[in-house]
Amino acid sequence: MSKKEDLTSSEKRDSFTSKTGFILACIGSAVGLGNIWLFPYRVGQFGGAAFLIPYIIFIVLLGYTGLMGEFAFGRMSQTGPIGSFKMALETKNKKWGGFLGIIPVFGAFGIAVGYAVVVGWFIRFLVGFITGSAISSADSGAYFGQIAGPFGSIIWHLIALIIVTIVLISGVSKGIEKMNKIMMPAFYVLFVVLVVKVLTLDGAVDGLKYLVFPEWSCLLSPKTWIYALGQAFFSLSLAGSGMIVYGSYLKRDVDIISSAKNTVIFDTLGAFLAGLIIIPAVFAFGLDPAAGPPLLFITIPSVFKLMPFGRLFGIIFFVSVLFASITSLMNLLEVPIEAVQNTFKLSRKLSVAIVVIAAFLIGLFVENGDVLGSWMDFVSIYIIPLGAFIAAVMFFWVIGIERAKSEIECGSEKKLGKLFEISAKYVFVFLTIFVLIAGILLGGIG
């Protein structure tokens, strides 16, 4: 063993201990607010089952190109976007790659800041259902208004960040991997329980009709395709950040092609289950399936208020959405943590502390519901697609498609065909720019 290898092994970068652990962590990142509070609404808005056609086309295409690319890029460079982009541009004797890498790090951090506030709300609602206050309040709108008002949830926001801090300080294998292995299977089991409960409610059929009745004419509208693309993009966490970082903790014998396939399948399943719970439940009680915070924090609590055993099912619901969102938050925070740890050569504990404290302090300014919406829009419209675009160019063009291909194939029995080269180098890169421009023009599509 050379001296250099010796040195890196003695510093020892933490890693996922198994393929299953890695896949569950990626599913944990992918399944989040995008699946739960955006997907069901979009399906209803853009033609029910007809929307699923472009959605599935895009999610498969993005999984086959962008997702595999981000995993392999991280695994190749053994570091996050800053180190990866630096490495890529150094092959062309350019030195500013690390600087570009700051963009996706800020993207992930920006989303994390807002996500932490929402996770705090979930904890608040879970406690509200346990104590019964969320169900006994006469007006669900006013109940939420108080929580989402200025500084209405500092303590819950703090609790959310303390929970993830404990997990993140424990590291990748002992923290992130372990928690995902518990939370993600539990999420699916609990969501299936809720689907069964909701579909047995009187009137749930109307919601089911709204959800699955295909309005084929919607497929003729470009907007259906654009929103399906944005949805698939955000849902797979394609941002040149989180998936690169998780890939950087991956061993070379793990099959990236099959990991990406599993992430796509389970992410889509998570979205479908969310749709099957939320829309029929809302219809069963004659409520309106609006988008965003009001759906989860006003409409859904009203549903549980009216449903037999609503308090119990409310608890189950908020436990599962808490699991789904906390596992995304871990991934989002891991990006800046890895960057701080690696760039400044700090200890893991100190890096976690710096990032979490910064996220909390900035989060105080976005705790208010309206500010939160604008903040999340800004980051997800401008920074997230830009990060995905730069990462794709770095890997598929600067590192080069041949090397990219062999990095993805490493550890897999399958080989990628010619179709992959075209899809990754041209189609995917084009789609990342398209998402950026369409997002700016339409005020957000993810």
CB of 126 to ligand PHE, least distance (A): 18
Q: What is the largest CA-CA distance in the chain?
A: 70
- Which lies closer to ligand PHE via its Cβ, residue 65 or residue 235? 235
Tokens 């700090």 sit on residue? 346
* Positive/negative CA dihedral, 155, 161, 163, 165: negative
Applying CB under 6 A, among 23, 24, 25, 34 the residue interacting with ligand PHE is 34
Applying CB under 6 A, among 15, 35, 224, 423 the residue interacting with ligand PHE is 35
CB of 435 to ligand PHE, least distance (A): 12
Alpha carbon distance 74, 85 (integer Å): 10
Half-sphere exposure of 191 (CA within 13 A, CB side): 25
- Contact 80/109 with Cβ under 8 angstroms? no
CB of 62 to ligand PHE, least distance (A): 12
- Contact 435/100 with Cβ under 8 angstroms? no
- Contact 275/290 with Cβ under 8 angstroms? no
- Which lies closer to ligand PHE via its Cβ, residue 147 or residue 383? 383
- Tell me if 332 contacts ligand PHE by CB under 6 A: yes
- Which listed range, 26-34, 78-86, 274-282, 407-415, lies at the site for ligand PHE (CB under 6 A)? 26-34
- Tell me if 32 contacts ligand PHE by CB under 6 A: yes
- Tell me if 432 contacts ligand PHE by CB under 6 A: no
- Tell me if 331 contacts ligand PHE by CB under 6 A: yes
* Positive/negative CA dihedral, 263, 265, 266, 268: positive
- Which lies closer to ligand PHE via its Cβ, residue 140 or residue 331? 331
Applying CB under 6 A, among 30, 117, 148, 391 the residue interacting with ligand PHE is 30
- Tell me if 244 contacts ligand PHE by CB under 6 A: no
- Tell me if 29 contacts ligand PHE by CB under 6 A: yes
Applying CB under 6 A, among 328, 341, 368, 423 the residue interacting with ligand PHE is 328
Binding to ligand PHE (CB under 6 A) within 178-237 occurs at: 234-235, 237
DSSP 339-374: HHHHHTT--HHHHHHHHHHHHHHHHHHH-SHHHHHH
CB of 29 to ligand PHE, least distance (A): 5
- Which lies closer to ligand PHE via its Cβ, residue 44 or residue 411? 44
Nearest to 13 by CA among 215, 179, 250, 202: 250
- Tell me if 278 contacts ligand PHE by CB under 6 A: no
Half-sphere exposure of 34 (CA within 13 A, CB side): 30
- Which lies closer to ligand PHE via its Cβ, residue 232 or residue 284? 232
203 phi, psi to nearest 5 deg? 90, -5
- Which lies closer to ligand PHE via its Cβ, residue 113 or residue 201? 113
Number of Cβ atoms within 10 Å of the Cβ of 185: 13
Size of the site for ligand PHE (CB under 6 A): 16
| Residue 299: Cβ-neighbour burial (10 angstroms; 0-12, 13-18, 19+) | buried
Q: End-to-end distance of the chain based on CA atoms, in angstroms?
A: 47
- Tell me if 242 contacts ligand PHE by CB under 6 A: yes
- Which lies closer to ligand PHE via its Cβ, residue 68 or residue 111? 111
Alpha carbon distance 318, 316 (integer Å): 6
- Which lies closer to ligand PHE via its Cβ, residue 36 or residue 135? 36
- Tell me if 327 contacts ligand PHE by CB under 6 A: no
Binding to ligand PHE (CB under 6 A) within 115-174 occurs at: none
- Which lies closer to ligand PHE via its Cβ, residue 140 or residue 328? 328
Applying CB under 6 A, among 23, 33, 113, 201 the residue interacting with ligand PHE is 33
Nearest to 141 by CA among 276, 280, 305: 305
- Contact 192/29 with Cβ under 8 angstroms? no
- Tell me if 359 contacts ligand PHE by CB under 6 A: no
Nearest to 80 by CA among 238, 239, 245: 245
- Tell me if 277 contacts ligand PHE by CB under 6 A: no
Which residues here bind ligand PHE, judged by CB under 6 A? 29-30, 32-35, 108, 111, 234-235, 237, 239, 242, 328, 331-332
